[in-house]
Structure 1
């Protein structure tokens, strides 16, 4: 996709999936409604389509500073809720500074080809894993869920993975980008999923 796109979201969806504009709009309204139910404000009417390759490069730079999650969330909010042009370098630089990255470092990276190899490596890994759409959820690198699934589907999937593979062990010391506010603590026969609200033992 080019950085500047003449089509809007509805036209792009209709073209890609062979549906009418009315169906594309209806689908997007459903997504907006579901997003609102969990506190997200999606604005498909004013969303700006663009090539997101540079935005992905920026998340790789943020990763090197331990800010990948913050950067990703800021870009997604800018794209879906604020109708910002996330293919525009000035916009990306502004967003990066908001999450704590250095303006000059970001501008220099975007003006170069830096981090391109990392993004392409991720793209190739996605191809290898069979990822062709979003959302796509990969568990233990061998179980997958595609599409927007209800909560009970995730619970059932995680219970099945747990019964087959046992507790998933994570070593936060090996990755500076691991979110230690939500980790899996393992024991001999049970696994605790812990966050700021406490811990829950998954059902077996």
Structure 2
């Protein structure tokens, strides 16, 4: 019984890292916009300030992706399992952060925001389902509520780090969250009994 609880807690902790990645994506623009508006080419990787139209696209493409994201990830979860679904959500998160780290054109930021939005939409769909399905009746509420601190930390982290480091370093640090999730969940994440 004790090893089962610890194993479930480890899987939920790993899932929490994916939740953190999702909310990092949501608040990513706050410390980044000031850099993208800068005329200083050592701060702004695009080499020029973004326009208000580009600002709007960077801000809104995440929402477009988030509206679309539940569709493919729900299909993946139903067809191939919740575990594979969650692992596949981490890939666009990793890709988006790496694109942001090395982007030198505004269109790459658009692509990263769209990919991040797809992952956010999929994550908000599959994470609560996964945790509810691997939990016992006695601890389902407790484990489900464990997502809240991870989401809150994901909202806090861009504000705590972003203003003080370069866009490249900032995004390489952020990429560590979905990478860590992928490795831990690949090793310890289990498929849900409901899927089986």
TM-score, scaled to structure 2:
0.28
Greater Rg, structure 1 or structure 2? 1
Q: Comparing both structures, which one devotes a greater share of its residues to helix?
A: 2
TM-score by length of 1: 0.27
